[in-house]
């Protein structure tokens, strides 16, 4: 294999050689045809060190892959350039490629192209209103910068709602449908889409790689470390404790009923966080239904920073001084008292 140049004798290259030996000593390798990618990629040791010296793990865990939303897509369905085995170095996968799977209600070949259109209408578009490429357009997220391989996250709601597959509901499907595969696939497919595929903390983490990056913030004139400041508020703190009812980034940045990718700038009058619309998100039926529009004045992205959030800054400083100002003298008195108790005759100056 031409691509297996051994550049340095490191542990990973050693494991790679070992796993290749294992592979080629397995008799059925001779029948290696396209489609049997796991023949090699099932070995946990399959890895190499790339040009930049970073370890790349090329192992695919079959169980995890089979629980992913892409389980029905063949490896070559995404890795289109791999046409023969052994194969050449792979090209990057294009998430917008057309799939061999057909969307059942339209019978058209399935693709994610429509999502690209929504992203192009959102603030994350690489082009501005006049169709000109934005400055630093390389900072704008592509599909793979927000997504990793999504896993099914089914819910059970036969009597009560909880995480996981409901055996009771499944047994009902079984009374009419005979193939277990079919039932599991559709059960997972439908239920995992009736709620968020990620919890609020995961979503915040996926945005933080850019929205907490000071260089990106400066280049695009944003005013806050958005994910960090979210983490500082009640919302973010509850998210850290895995509360799923708490608003995540999308609950506030995407209008109800819009596609999940249509996040807009706060300057855009259509945006959910535009001055005029802000009040409505807080007062949404799932959140603070009886709140007055004034609640939206609460700084959901305030930071401990004088120029960004002066009101919160002085408020916090006041409390630091108040707590420090009362506690420190009190602790001093307790300490002096303790010294007197332990050493009743202690003196700083000697008596004459």
Contacts of ligand HEC in 13-72 (CB under 6 A): 23, 32, 34, 36-41, 48, 56-58, 60, 65, 70
The span of 156-164, 261-269, 310-318, 319-327 binding ligand HEC (CB under 6 A) equals 261-269
The answer to whether residues 121 and 127 touch, using CB atoms and an 8 Å cutoff, is no
Q: How far is the CB of 112 from ligand HEC (least distance, A)?
A: 3
Of the residues 67, 98, 112, 283, which one makes contact with ligand HEC according to CB under 6 A: 112
Give the residue carrying structure tokens 């000593």. Answer: 25
Cis before 86? omega within 30: yes
Distance from C-alpha of 59 to C-alpha of 61, rounded to nearest angstrom = 6
Q: How far is the CB of 317 from ligand HEC (least distance, A)?
A: 20
CB nearer to ligand HEC: give 172 or 340.
172
CA angle, residues 276, 122, 77, in degrees to nearest 5: 150
Task: Give which of 269, 281, 205, 189 is closest to 242, Cα–Cα.
Answer: 205
Distance from C-alpha of 71 to C-alpha of 284, rounded to nearest angstrom = 36
The answer to whether residues 64 and 41 touch, using CB atoms and an 8 Å cutoff, is no
Task: Give which of 260, 300, 301, 309 is closest to 282, Cα–Cα.
Answer: 300
Distance from C-alpha of 265 to C-alpha of 297, rounded to nearest angstrom = 18
Q: How far is the CB of 343 from ligand HEC (least distance, A)?
A: 55
Is residue 126 involved in binding ligand HEC (CB under 6 A)? no
CB nearer to ligand HEC: give 21 or 90.
90
Of the residues 13, 43, 119, 225, which one makes contact with ligand HEC according to CB under 6 A: 119
* Residues 213-232, interacting with ligand HEC (CB under 6 A): 216, 220, 222-224, 226-227, 230
Of the residues 154, 235, 262, 303, which one makes contact with ligand HEC according to CB under 6 A: 235
The answer to whether residues 47 and 57 touch, using CB atoms and an 8 Å cutoff, is yes
* Residues 274-303, interacting with ligand HEC (CB under 6 A): 278, 299-301
* Residues 310-349, interacting with ligand HEC (CB under 6 A): none
Residues in binding contact with ligand HEC, number by CB under 6 A: 93
Its sign, for the CA torsion 45, 50, 53, 56, is: negative
Binding mask 138-177 for ligand HEC (x = CB under 6 A): -xxx-xxxxx---------------------x--xx-xxx
Of the residues 206, 255, 262, 312, which one makes contact with ligand HEC according to CB under 6 A: 206
Is residue 305 involved in binding ligand HEC (CB under 6 A)? no
CB under 8 Å to 117, separation ≥6 — which residues?
A: none
């Amino acid at each position: 294999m031409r691509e297996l140049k051994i550049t340095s004798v490191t542990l990973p290259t050693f494991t790679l050689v070992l796993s290749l030996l294992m592979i080629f000593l397995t008799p059925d390798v001779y029948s290696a045809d396209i489609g049997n990618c796991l023949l090699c990629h099932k070995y946990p040791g399959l890895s190499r060190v790339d040009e930049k010296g970073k370890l790349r793990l090329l192992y695919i865990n079959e169980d995890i892959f089979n629980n992913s939303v892409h389980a029905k897509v063949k490896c070559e369905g995404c890795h289109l350039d791999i046409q023969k085995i052994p194969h050449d170095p792979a090209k990057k996968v294009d998430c917008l490629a057309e799939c061999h799977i057909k969307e059942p209600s339209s019978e058209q070949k399935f693709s994610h192209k429509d999502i690209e259109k929504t992203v192009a209408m959102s603030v994350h578009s690489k082009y501005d209103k006049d169709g000109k490429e934005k400055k630093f357009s390389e900072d704008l997220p592509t599909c793979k910068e927000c997504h990793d391989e999504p896993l099914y996250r089914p819910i059970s709601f036969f009597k009560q709602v909880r995480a996981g597959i409901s055996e009771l509901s499944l047994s009902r499907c079984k009374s009419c449908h005979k193939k277990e595969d079919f039932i599991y696939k559709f059960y997972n497919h439908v239920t995992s889409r009736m709620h968020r595929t990620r919890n609020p903390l995961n979503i915040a983490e996926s945005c933080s790689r850019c929205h907490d990056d000071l260089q990106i913030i400066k280049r695009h004139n944003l005013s806050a470390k958005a994910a960090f400041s979210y983490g500082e508020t009640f919302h973010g703190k509850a998210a850290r404790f895995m509360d799923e009812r708490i608003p995540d980034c999308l609950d506030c940045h995407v209008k109800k009923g819009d596609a999940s990718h249509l996040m807009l700038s706060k300057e855009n009058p259509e945006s959910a966080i535009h001055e005029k619309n802000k009040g409505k998100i807080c007062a949404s039926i799932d959140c603070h239904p009886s709140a007055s529009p004034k609640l939206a004045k609460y700084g959901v992205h305030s930071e401990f920073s004088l120029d960004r959030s002066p009101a919160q800054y002085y408020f916090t400083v006041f409390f630091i001084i108040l707590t420090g100002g009362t506690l420190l003298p009190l602790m001093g008195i307790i300490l002096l008292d303790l010294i007197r108790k332990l050493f009743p005759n202690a003196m700083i100056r000697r008596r004459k």
